[in-house]
């Protein structure tokens, strides 16, 4: 491809799989991470992919670090907005901080990264922005009004920005993963996870590599006629 990509939340789980899949396609990949320094160091040692630490919910950090990445590695052609957190609770027990932090990072991070990179893509006449939503942003989920709202917002953000980028060769799409065998899902109590898997028609959790294959397609030249779409990769858990 000869392109430069930034993957937020890129050193573990789905993000790591996306980084490796894009790297295998010849993309120069840079990963973002927020907190786990040791994991990021191990990731870079294993893959050779540089990892930059910053909070995607901070607008100025996104602008500054994307400028630094472009200066060192070349203009950013592909952005994968994968970074996200959970702060689960039913509404009457959810604090404003739990609501605000999930919205700030999961949805605000998409805005911040787009602001940092979309103008350059638009000027150069080519770009790919791929936002990682969630099946729970499509169907809702008990105890996740913050997470479901942020992920649902990502799907609307994707459709609106796609309309702005289309005539400039910039596509904007989303992927809505179902439950994938990552550390985040591993933290779900076993009885709850069993009930979730029982509702997935294919009868298993997804694999991070399956999400990554969707990203590599959306990031490719071949996906140039696909924009404003949400690709559901959920084992049939939610169909509409």
What are the residues whose beta carbons fall under 8 Å from the beta carbon of 104, sequence distance 6 or more?
A: 57
What is the residue range of 101's domain?
4-233
Q: Is 240 among the domain residues?
A: no
The whole model's pTM is what?
Answer: 0.95
- pLDDT, tens digit (0-9, with 9 covering 90-100), for 156-191: 999 999 999 999 999 999 999 999 998 878 788 889
- pLDDT, tens digit (0-9, with 9 covering 90-100), for 168-177: 999 999 999 9
User: What is the per-residue DSSP string for 129-184?
Assistant: EEEE--HHHHH--TTBHHHHHHHHHHHHHHHHHHHHHGGGTEEEEEEEE--BSSHH
Number of domains in the chain: 1
Which CATH number fits the domain that encloses residue 124? 3.40.50.720
The residue annotated as part of the active site, out of 33, 52, 142, 147, is: 147
The answer to whether residue 149 scores a pLDDT higher than 70 is: yes
Q: What mean pLDDT do residues 8-20 have? A: 97
- Is 147 marked active-site? yes
């Amino acid at each position: 491809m000869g392109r430069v990509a930034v993957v937020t939340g890129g050193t573990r789980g789905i993000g790591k799989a996306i980084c490796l899949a894009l790297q295998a396609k010849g993309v120069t990949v840079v990963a973002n991470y927020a907190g786990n320094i040791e994991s990021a160091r191990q990731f870079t040692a294993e893959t050779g992919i540089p990892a930059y630490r910053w909070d995607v919910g901070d607008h100025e950090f996104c602008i500054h670090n994307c400028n630094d990445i472009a200066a060192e590695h070349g203009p950013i052609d592909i952005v994968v907005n994968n970074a996200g957190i959970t702060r689960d609770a039913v509404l009457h027990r959810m604090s404003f901080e739990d609501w605000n932090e999930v919205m700030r990072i999961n949805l605000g991070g998409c805005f911040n990264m787009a602001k940092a990179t979309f103008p350059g893509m638009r000027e150069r006449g080519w770009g790919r922005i791929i936002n990682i939503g969630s099946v729970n942003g499509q169907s809702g989920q008990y105890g996740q009004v913050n997470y479901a709202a942020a992920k649902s917002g990502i799907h609307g953000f994707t459709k609106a920005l796609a309309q702005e980028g289309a005539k400039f060769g910039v596509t904007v799409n989303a992927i809505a993963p179902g439950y994938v065998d990552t550390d985040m899902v591993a933290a779900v109590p076993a009885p709850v996870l069993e009930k979730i898997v029982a509702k997935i028609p294919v009868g298993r959790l997804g694999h991070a590599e399956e999400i990554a294959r969707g990203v590599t397609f959306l990031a490719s030249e071949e996906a140039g006629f696909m924009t404003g779409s949400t690709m559901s990769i959920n084992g049939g858990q939610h169909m509409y």
